[in-house]
Structure 1
Amino acid sequence: MTQPNGIPLDTAAIVSTVLEGIIYGFSVLMFIGTLWALMQRRLSSGVNRRMTSVACLLLFFSTAHMVIDIIRTQEGLVRYRDTFKSPTLSGPVGFFSDVAQWSFVYKNMLYMLQTLVGDGVVIYRCYVVWQSWYIIVVPVLLWGSVATTGIGSVYSISRATTNQENIFAPGTGPWITAFLAATLFTNIFSTSLLAYRIWAVGRQVSNLQSRKSVLSPVLRIILDAGVLYSISLLAALLCFVAKNRGHYVLLDMIMPIISITFYMVIIRITMAKSASQGAIQGTSGFTPRFSTMSRGRTFEDQQRYPLKPMEVHITQLTETNGEGLLKDEGASPTSASPGPLV
């Protein structure tokens, strides 16, 4: 069996905790910004409780994971530094190699829950913009595979007896590989469905109005969040397949990254909406005057050749049922428009 390679486990524990702490601090700031954005947009119709609950849940999982990592680092480097013994290793390296430690089991359980929530939000957004249960059948099945492999990974780690000092062992390695691959494919597939729908509707709106659609910034936001998460997952999966201990660092960093990808979508869509409304309000002071068109016309001319009303199409961000809605105000009732994304 190929031996694990990469940085020593005690070094990996320090590096992962420090990097996770930095990203976690940034995610807390973005959480505050997310609450502000949600309340800013719902002052007249009430706070979006669904998205607020998800934001709080992601922060809770990230905080609990951060606390466990700090405790685990303290136990491995200080408390059990000279007393921890294992069949082949001892000291800090032996402690961090033991996958059956309660701290390692619980932090992986939190990572699984965080992943399920993050992937579930992307699938929910797919349903919102498509407004069809048939579209999300495959993403939901993929989400079920993430849950199954995640539970299997946590269970195999908690029950590890032989080869408990090797996370890449046959008893745990295949479960973790399957879990990382399942969540990567789920994220890519769901984000692709979401991005395609927004692109298709934006293209339809821009063709009708012969100008750039307001949905283009939203599409970039969704793609940015999806790419950030996918690259992190791909790096962690490649490290694990290559049996490189760097995956310890990457997995700890992904915890707050999942929260950040959720927060950045809400904050940036709110900013894009505010900019769009500001542009519309900036032109609201212009009032066209058509009185000169009827000057010099007799009453008989006005009756014989009446002026027809002109229909104006304006695409803007509006509020419907307390949730942000991207729609074409002048489009026909049959024209497709995505539902609330946040």
Structure 2
Amino acid sequence: MPLDTAAIFSTAMEGILYGFSVLMFVGTMWALTRKRRMKDINRTNTAVAFMLLILSTAHMIVDIVRLEQGLVTYRDTFPGGPAAFFADVTQITFVVKNIMYSLQTMLGDGMVIHRCYVVWQSVWIIIVPSLLWIAMTVCAFCADYKLSNATSEAGDVFAKPTGQWITAFYTMSLASNLLASGFLAYRIWRMERNVSAIRTSNRSMMPIVRVLADAAILYSVTILTGLVCFVEANNGQYVILDMTMPIISIAFYMIIIRMAMKTTRYGHNSTIGMGTETTREISQQYHMRRMPVEVHISQITHQDETSKSAC
């Protein structure tokens, strides 16, 4: 795929997905603030939602500017034409958009790890995902540094000075997301399994697992596709890169919105998006559903002993 064609296609696809992400951002704000006082709003989810929107918007603007420069401003003056312009890693617009992508990815993956910690309430469970996240951050810094200091002879983005760091970045991001999402879904599944036998209502935590799995699959498939394209030095990775920006936002928003839909269906008020209050409530449900059984058994035992004494 010629790079000028890839630039047009990637910007068009990013624009479509960006429109969906903006719409879902509005839905996320509605879910986070509906019938809540200011002090009850989950500030972490709200702040992350705004940051994802800002980064996605800025990336979209940079891509439009970059498209205009490559196809209009420098079309006849840049050596090699538009295709050479879009392959030039020394362009400031290319460096800026990659920095934004790194920040967006670190923010999205960091939020998954944060949710995992909130549900498990244990630092030990997030050690490996956190180490992968730190390694990913280092790779992103090194890749962006190499790009910002590249010369006109650096070649394309697949060249070794940048390619090795970008490959490691994709790999660490994929591993961190899969691991944290897996731990998170497993924890909720185990809690659901433990309380299912004694549940007195038809409410289940399995929809939460499906929501988390859907978001993890959407993001992981996108990252894996980008990694394969990059390893094969396929220009399709430019398209995947631009599409990933709004997809990260969509994956984050869809969890909050679908959680809001589930809680509305059950008439259940709690902090949406696996926040601290949601986790506390799940734990309380788990323990409270065990206590009546234990109390009931102790009462029966006491009554039996009394009856034997009377006999």
- CA deviation profile, 1:19-67 (whole Å, cap 9, x unmatched): 0000000000000000000001534853211110100000000000000
**How do 1:158-197 residues align onto structure 2 when only pairs under 5 Å count?**
158-161=148-151, 163-197=153-187
Q: Secondary structure at the match of 1:135?
A: helix
- CA deviation profile, 1:175-231 (whole Å, cap 9, x unmatched): 110000110111011100001001000111112227765211000000000000000
Give the conservation status (yes or no) of the 8 Å contact 2:41–2:271: no
Match of 1:108 in 2: 98
The amino acid of 2:13's aligned partner reads L
Percent identity of equivalent pairs = 49
Match of 2:43 in 1: 49
Give the conservation status (yes or no) of the 8 Å contact 1:202–1:213: no
CA drift at 1:91? 1.2
Aligned residues: 287
Q: Which has the higher helix share?
A: 2
Match of 2:307 in 1: none
Aligned equivalents of 1:198 and 1:110: distance in 2? Answer: 33
69, 73, 95: which is aligned to 2:67? 73
Indicate how the Cα distance of structure 1 residues 241 and 127 shifts in structure 2: closer, same or farther if over 3 A, else same. same
Indicate how the Cα distance of structure 1 residues 133 and 104 shifts in structure 2: closer, same or farther if over 3 A, else same. same
Match of 2:235 in 1: 245
Q: Secondary structure at the match of 1:52?
A: helix
Q: Secondary structure at the match of 1:171?
A: helix
Aligned equivalents of 1:11 and 1:174: distance in 2? Answer: 25
Pair 1:135-2:129 in alignment: no
Pair 1:331-2:289 in alignment: yes
Pair 1:16-2:6 in alignment: no
TM-score (structure 2 length as normaliser): 0.87
- CA deviation profile, 1:66-110 (whole Å, cap 9, x unmatched): 00000000000000001112xxxx110111110110000000000
Task: Select between 323-332 and 261-270 the one with higher mean Cα deviation.
Answer: 323-332
Aligned equivalents of 2:208 and 2:259: distance in 1? Answer: 6
The amino acid of 2:247's aligned partner reads I
Indicate how the Cα distance of structure 1 residues 247 and 44 shifts in structure 2: closer, same or farther if over 3 A, else same. closer
Match of 2:144 in 1: 154
Give the conservation status (yes or no) of the 8 Å contact 2:198–2:290: no
Indicate how the Cα distance of structure 1 residues 30 and 17 shifts in structure 2: closer, same or farther if over 3 A, else same. same
Give the conservation status (yes or no) of the 8 Å contact 2:129–2:176: yes
Match of 1:302 in 2: none
Pair 1:144-2:134 in alignment: yes
Indicate how the Cα distance of structure 1 residues 262 and 318 shifts in structure 2: closer, same or farther if over 3 A, else same. closer
Task: Select between 318-327 and 56-65 the one with higher mean Cα deviation.
Answer: 318-327
Aligned equivalents of 1:256 and 1:151: distance in 2? Answer: 21
The amino acid of 1:100's aligned partner reads T
Task: Select between 39-48 and 75-84 the one with higher mean Cα deviation.
Answer: 39-48
The amino acid of 1:68's aligned partner reads V
The amino acid of 1:241's aligned partner reads V
Match of 1:34 in 2: 28
Q: Secondary structure at the match of 2:161?
A: coil
CA drift at 1:276? 1.4
Q: Give ranges in structure 2 of 5+ residues lacking alignment.
A: 294-311
CA drift at 1:323? 3.6
CA RMSD of aligned residues (A): 2.2
Give the conservation status (yes or no) of the 8 Å contact 1:150–1:175: yes
Match of 2:308 in 1: none
- CA deviation profile, 1:222-269 (whole Å, cap 9, x unmatched): 000000000000000000001100000001000000000000000000
TM-score (structure 1 length as normaliser): 0.79
The amino acid of 1:69's aligned partner reads D
Aligned equivalents of 2:33 and 2:181: distance in 1? Answer: 26
Aligned equivalents of 2:19 and 2:154: distance in 1? Answer: 33
Give the conservation status (yes or no) of the 8 Å contact 1:47–1:322: no
Aligned equivalents of 2:249 and 2:271: distance in 1? Answer: 25
Match of 1:96 in 2: 86
Give the conservation status (yes or no) of the 8 Å contact 1:97–1:166: yes
Indicate how the Cα distance of structure 1 residues 115 and 109 shifts in structure 2: closer, same or farther if over 3 A, else same. same
